[in-house]
Amino acid sequence: MAGTGIFTDILDGDVYKYYSDGEWKTSSSGKSVAIINPATRKTQYKVQACTQEEVNKVMEMAKSAQKSWAKTPLWKRAELLHKAAAILKDNKAPIAESLVKEIAKPAKDSVTEVVRSGDLISYCAEEGVRILGEGKFLLSDSFPGNERTKYCLTSKIPLGVVLAIPPFNYPVNLAVSKIAPALIAGNSLVLKPPTQGAVSCLHMVHCFHLAGFPKGLISCITGKGSEIGDFLTMHPAVNCISFTGGDTGISISKKAGMIPLQMELGGKDACIVLEDADLDLVASNIIKGGFSYSGQRCTAVKVVLVMESVANELVEKVKAKVAKLTVGPPEENCDITAVVSESSANFIEGLVMDAKDKGATFCQEYKRQGNLIWPLLLDNVKPDMRIAWEEPFGPVLPVLRINSVEEGINHCNASNFGLQGCVFTKDINKAMLISDAMETGTVQINSAPARGPDHFPFQGLKDSGIGSQGVTNSISLMTKVKTTVINLPTPSYSMG
Nearer to ligand G3H among residue 257 and residue 452 (C-beta): 452
Under 8 Å between Cβ of 178 and 242: yes
Stretch that binds ligand G3H, among 49-57, 193-201, 255-263, 444-452 (CB under 6 A): 444-452
Q: Pick the binder of ligand G3H from 27, 222, 299, 474 (CB under 6 A).
A: 299
Nearest-angstrom CA–CA distance, 19 and 218: 8
Q: Pick the binder of ligand G3H from 169, 195, 415, 425 (CB under 6 A).
A: 169
Nearest-angstrom CA–CA distance, 417 and 109: 27
**Is residue 271 part of the contact set for ligand G3H (CB under 6 A)?**
no
Nearest-angstrom CA–CA distance, 273 and 279: 9
**Is residue 164 part of the contact set for ligand G3H (CB under 6 A)?**
no
Report the nearest approach of ligand G3H to the CB of residue 145 (Å).
48
Report the nearest approach of ligand G3H to the CB of residue 473 (Å).
14
Nearest-angstrom CA–CA distance, 336 and 39: 11
Number of residues that bind ligand G3H (CB under 6 A): 8
Nearest-angstrom CA–CA distance, 299 and 474: 18
Nearer to ligand G3H among residue 212 and residue 452 (C-beta): 452
Nearer to ligand G3H among residue 24 and residue 458 (C-beta): 458
Nearest-angstrom CA–CA distance, 6 and 356: 51
Stretch that binds ligand G3H, among 86-94, 248-256, 271-279, 292-300 (CB under 6 A): 292-300
Task: Select from 218, 223, 5 the least CA-distant residue to 95.
Answer: 5
| 3-class secondary structure, 139 | strand
Report the nearest approach of ligand G3H to the CB of residue 319 (Å).
24
Cα Rg, the chain, nearest whole Å:
24
Nearest-angstrom CA–CA distance, 495 and 481: 30
Under 8 Å between Cβ of 457 and 305: no
**Is residue 412 part of the contact set for ligand G3H (CB under 6 A)?**
no
Stretch that binds ligand G3H, among 36-44, 104-112, 433-441, 447-455 (CB under 6 A): 447-455
Q: Pick the binder of ligand G3H from 17, 92, 297, 411 (CB under 6 A).
A: 297
CA 372 from centre of chain: 23
Q: Is 227 a catalytic residue?
A: no
Nearer to ligand G3H among residue 109 and residue 379 (C-beta): 109
Per CB under 6 A, contacts with ligand G3H among 42-101 are none
Report the nearest approach of ligand G3H to the CB of residue 410 (Å).
25
Catalytic residue among 97, 102, 113, 264: 264
CA 36 from centre of chain: 22
| 3-class secondary structure, 460 | coil
Cα distances (Å, whole numbers) of residue 145 to 141, 149, 457, 483, 489: 7, 11, 38, 21, 16
**Is residue 192 part of the contact set for ligand G3H (CB under 6 A)?**
no
**Is residue 196 part of the contact set for ligand G3H (CB under 6 A)?**
no
Report the nearest approach of ligand G3H to the CB of residue 143 (Å).
41
Report the nearest approach of ligand G3H to the CB of residue 279 (Å).
23
- H helix intervals, 52-142: 52-69, 74-90, 92-103, 107-131
- Greatest Cα pair distance, the chain, in angstroms, is 82
**Is residue 451 part of the contact set for ligand G3H (CB under 6 A)?**
yes
Nearer to ligand G3H among residue 123 and residue 170 (C-beta): 170
**Is residue 298 part of the contact set for ligand G3H (CB under 6 A)?**
yes
Nearer to ligand G3H among residue 66 and residue 344 (C-beta): 344
Report the nearest approach of ligand G3H to the CB of residue 113 (Å).
9
Nearer to ligand G3H among residue 27 and residue 244 (C-beta): 244
Nearer to ligand G3H among residue 61 and residue 162 (C-beta): 162
Report the nearest approach of ligand G3H to the CB of residue 174 (Å).
6
**Is residue 425 part of the contact set for ligand G3H (CB under 6 A)?**
no
- Helix H, strand E, coil C: the string for 283-337 is HHHHHHHHHHHHHCCCCCEEEEEEEHHHHHHHHHHHHHHHCCCCECCHHHCCCEC
Task: Select from 230, 263, 378, 393 the least CA-distant residue to 315.
Answer: 378
Report the nearest approach of ligand G3H to the CB of residue 333 (Å).
17
**Is residue 450 part of the contact set for ligand G3H (CB under 6 A)?**
yes
Q: Pick the binder of ligand G3H from 19, 168, 170, 208 (CB under 6 A).
A: 170
Under 8 Å between Cβ of 50 and 29: yes
Nearest-angstrom CA–CA distance, 61 and 236: 14
Stretch that binds ligand G3H, among 133-141, 211-219, 294-302, 324-332 (CB under 6 A): 294-302
Task: Select from 456, 422, 171, 119 the least CA-distant residue to 299.
Answer: 422
Strand partners of residue 284: none
Catalytic residues: 264
Residues binding ligand G3H (CB under 6 A)? 169-170, 297-299, 450-452
